[in-house]
Amino acid sequence: MVVMMNKNFIGQILTHSALYIKSRACLLTLGLLFGTHLSFGQTSLITDLKKDRLTELSLYFYPSTLRMVNLDKNEEFNRLIQDIEKLIFYKMNGKFENIDLYNLVGQLQTEESFEEYVVIDGPTKKFYLLGREKPTETVGLALMNEEHYVFDIAGSLELKEIPKLYQYISENDSTFQSKFSQILNLVELGDDIVD
């Protein structure tokens, strides 16, 4: 049995198929971008930090990369991050000072309706964890070794794991800070190679 088809007919089918595939791919891409944007409505105060050029380093973590950062395979850490969809970590530059940290905490509470979840205010370390339910977002601000850090989390944290994790970090302070510094140095080294 031999089937013969008109070349124009085949060309029309291929053209319509290609347009159909392209339009579906375009819609899928737009849907993913729009859906991602809606699921992670980063607070304007945090995005302003980047616009105002106050960040020195930006790192984006997803569930798999967050688990890789857990070098000691700490169970409290794994439970803490299990429901995080995305974490954006900022190392602030020298223009960002202690007063900016305190002001940002206040602005998040008054302008963005964040609530304090955890506050650790020591002589050399300061840590604030704030959150809100609608839209679900958690923001952390930290001062360690005269460096300022801000992180923005889409998804939820297992807050009951924070005291255990803090105790672990306190007991292993020098080891934890050393590993944290190593991770940042590796990332900065990789960034220098790319540039």
Per-residue pLDDT of 16-62, as tens digits, reads 444 434 444 333 333 333 333 333 456 788 888 888 888 998 889 99
As beta bridge partners, residue 148 has 143
Kindly state the tokens that stand for 29: 């891409």
**Is 15 within the bounds of a domain?**
no
- Does residue 8 form part of some domain? no
Question: Count of domains in the chain?
Answer: 1
Mean pLDDT (the chain) is: 74
38 is a domain residue: no
* Domain span including residue 135: 44-194
Residue 145 belongs to some domain of the structure: yes
pLDDT digits (tens, 9 = 90+) for 108-129: 999 999 999 989 888 878 899 9
Q: Is residue 18 part of a domain?
A: no
Q: Give 93's pLDDT tier (boundaries 50, 70, 90).
A: very high
Q: Which residue has the higher pLDDT, 174 or 108?
A: 108
> pTM, whole model, 2 decimals?
0.66
Quick check: is 190 in a domain? yes
Give the contacts of 156 (CB within 8 A, at least 6 positions apart). 83, 84, 136, 138
Domain assignment present for residue 64? The answer is yes
Query: Rounded to whole angstroms, how far apart are CA atoms 172 and 98?
Result: 25
- For residue 140, the surrounding DSSP H or E stretch is strand 137-144
